[in-house]
Structure 1
Amino acid sequence: MIHLPTAARGPLRALALRLVAAIGLVLFIVFVVYLDRDGYRDGDDTSGLTLLDCFYYTVVSLSTTGYGDITPITPQARLVNVLVVTPARVLFLIILVGTTLEVLTEQYRTNARLARWRRHLKDHVIVCGYGTKGRSAVGALRESGFDVKRIVVVESDRPSVRRAAADGLVAIEGSATQSTVLTDAHIKDAKAVIVATDTDEASVLVTLTARQLTAGKVRIIAAAREAENAPLLKQSGAHQVIVSSATAGRLLGLSTSAPPLIDVVEDLLTPGAGMALALRSAARDEVGRSPREVTEPVIALVRLGRIISLAMPESAKIETGDLLVYIRDDRPSPVTASA
């Protein structure tokens, strides 16, 4: 099931309001008829209407059933029917029919949005799992300027699906280990697949399924809890594996031996804190120059998919097609901060 991002409306609240309006209208007409109960006749009974008779007459009148056993006999009662009961009958029908039309219209609108989404979905990123890792991955994509409309979340946990939809994402409810679910996410047209499941076993199954569907043409990035499962994920088809436990353990060790390094890493990973890692293509006038001569502080080069540190001889000169990994100022501008 595909959940498109929607604004929270509270359908039960809207339905309750309509129900209260309908009941209030019925009670109002009962009150009006009861005040003029002597102007109505129930068959051969000329003693006037009881409160129950007023309820009965109101219900059959507003629902347009109109059995005709109770009729207005005085000019005043007939005028009340013309000026009050008949408009109330129309309003009552509008409330009932309007609810049905709203449901049908919402279904049509949802189907139209879904068809339009399928038609334009391409070069998107599929995030399998919307737990802590999945949400962090989506947050990083947003911070880098990636269009949120091109992010698709695949999650089997219903509360997580609702959370993703509330965050403005398209969420597909189902297991990413099933090929039909990934097919619904248009995995063949995707730019990348991020595997952020809760267990390494699930990550392996998702990676295998994704590789089978894409024949290795879509980049797969997987997260692993244990370092020993990283080779298995790469054999399953992951182009890159992030070992969360090893990374966290190394940071814990650095926090003891070199506490300032942790502050630097935290600054790099925290949006808007001060520094952030960035990647850009080398400009034409930068080709042939040393990375140290570039305006930004370059820390590495990416050449033909290979990372080249500044300590390596190959980094002496920037070549055509190189990508520069640099540190940029991520502090909010004074205008943005004041706003």
Structure 2
Amino acid sequence: MKADERPQARGTRLSIVRSLWYRSRTEARDDAEAGRSISMPTLSTIPPLQQVLRRLAMALLVLFVTILIVYVDADGYTDNSDGSVDLLDAAYYATVTLSTTGYGDVTPVSDTARLVNILVITPLRVMFLIILVGTTLEVLTERTRQQVRIHRWRSRTRDHVVVIGYGTKGRHAVQTLTGQGISRDRIVVVDAQRKATGAAADDGLVSVTGDATRTDTLIKAEVQSAAHVIVAPQRDETATLITLTARQVNKHATIVVAVRENENVPLLQQSGADTVITSSSSAGRLLGVSMVSPSVARLLEDLMTLGSGLDLIERAVREEEIGNSPRACADLVVAAVRGKEVLDYTDPRLSKLQPRDRVITVSRPVQSTLE
């Protein structure tokens, strides 16, 4: 390397090091900020108060064992005040010894007592300190562990499902997704209420607390890399704003929105929603069917509830089914998705299944619709 090239190469290496350093600082700051709003799934099922009480009980047990050891060998100890060691002196010695205070007024004098202090009481002292200090250290390190988990989650999360709103609709949507074989670590919940996100975390889901109409909240939920977004807030106008923001953040994700009124469906579709479900009209139709034929209504409810009997699912056409009639399939095919069209079983174009078709069937096995 020429002499005049060395400073340039050195400057390039320094710029790379600075870039990596600034990037690490930025990621750490982002993770720290995200830690205030992102709730990771709860790892421990033991309540914090129960953990503290359990550790306190272990510390008291260690103290009791130490008192018993000293009292049994009381003749091997001396008290500077009266020369003898009773039960109270043994408790006093055990307390000041385990707490590493050590006033020196009660001391082991026999070889046996000193050997027991070396081999037994010293390990008990270490155990006692670990139990007491461990609780404090766990509190101090909890934030660091949380940031590490958040950073790892953010770096690995891709093609996941974001559920915005963890009310009745959002919870049932998550239940349906998990019932179709989608793992909980591929689902992220966003809700403005901390109580709702806390419930989602208790259910084993990553959750983000914040206003979903804001871009920064959706970015914390990694919407930009999500494959599917379910929008299920309480108000239609909120659903419209969320859909606009989600579509701006992610141009390619499939967005499914739940609204109350039919008149808001065109607005949601213009905002970027791929599918809009009207809850009020759907409930009204189900009420009408229940009035005319309760059996049909029960069957519809059964089809929409995974695991209750028959399931209405969508799957890819199998290799052995290509070129055959839908009626030749092992399960009941009621329709097929070809391109962007849904063809029912009576459509003449569905006389033979094609390789890229996806069939909608009524069957008992549950399969993932995201395969």
Structure 1 pair 27/144, CA: closer, same or farther in 2 (3 Å)? closer
Pairwise CA distance, 1:24: 5.0
Question: Which residue identity does 1:328 align to in structure 2?
Answer: S
| Aligned twin of 1:116 | 152
Structure 1 pair 282/57, CA: closer, same or farther in 2 (3 Å)? closer
- Name stretches of at least 5 consecutive residues in structure 2 with no aligned partner: 1-36, 367-371
TM-score, normalised with respect to structure 1 = 0.80
Which of the numbers 42, 56, 66 marks the counterpart of 1:19?
Answer: 56
Contact 1:7 1:166 in 2 (8 A): no
2:47 corresponds to 1:10: yes
Question: Which residue identity does 2:59 align to in structure 1?
Answer: A
Moved more, 123-132 or 290-299: 290-299
2:224 corresponds to 1:220: no
Moved more, 24-33 or 12-21: 24-33
| Aligned twin of 1:268 | 303
Pairwise CA distance, 1:330: 4.7
Moved more, 79-88 or 132-141: 79-88
2:226 corresponds to 1:187: no
- Distance across 2 between alignment mates of 1:83 and 1:283: 70
Q: How does 1:1-339 map onto structure 2 within 5 Å?
A: 1-5=37-41, 6-23=43-60, 25-26=62-63, 39-41=78-80, 59-68=95-104, 70-72=105-107, 75=110, 79=114, 86-103=122-139, 109-214=145-250, 216-283=251-318, 286-287=321-322, 289-330=324-365
- Distance across 1 between alignment mates of 2:92 and 2:173: 62
- Distance across 2 between alignment mates of 1:73 and 1:27: 18
TM-score, normalised with respect to structure 2 = 0.74
- Distance across 1 between alignment mates of 2:353 and 2:112: 95
Pairwise CA distance, 1:306: 2.0
- Distance across 2 between alignment mates of 1:89 and 1:294: 72
After superposition, give the CA deviation of every residue in 1:4-58 in whole Å (9 maximum; x if it has no partner).
322412222121122233345456666877895993125xxx5989999887765
Moved more, 314-323 or 236-245: 314-323
Contact 1:251 1:262 in 2 (8 A): yes
Identity %: 43
- Distance across 1 between alignment mates of 2:94 and 2:190: 52
Pairwise CA distance, 1:223: 0.6
Pairwise CA distance, 1:266: 1.9
Task: Quote the RMSD (CA, aligned, Å).
Answer: 3.5
- Distance across 2 between alignment mates of 1:83 and 1:117: 45
Pairwise CA distance, 1:276: 1.6
Pairwise CA distance, 1:232: 2.2
Pairwise CA distance, 1:188: 1.4
- Distance across 2 between alignment mates of 1:159 and 1:203: 20
Contact 1:41 1:49 in 2 (8 A): no
Structure 1 pair 302/52, CA: closer, same or farther in 2 (3 Å)? same
- Distance across 2 between alignment mates of 1:90 and 1:146: 46
Moved more, 106-115 or 242-251: 106-115
- Distance across 1 between alignment mates of 2:144 and 2:294: 57
Contact 2:176 2:305 in 1 (8 A): no
- Distance across 2 between alignment mates of 1:206 and 1:325: 30
- Name stretches of at least 5 consecutive residues in structure 1 with no aligned partner: 332-339
Structure 1 pair 282/27, CA: closer, same or farther in 2 (3 Å)? closer
- Distance across 2 between alignment mates of 1:8 and 1:84: 34
After superposition, give the CA deviation of every residue in 1:158-200 in whole Å (9 maximum; x if it has no partner).
3332332232222223332232221122111111000122222
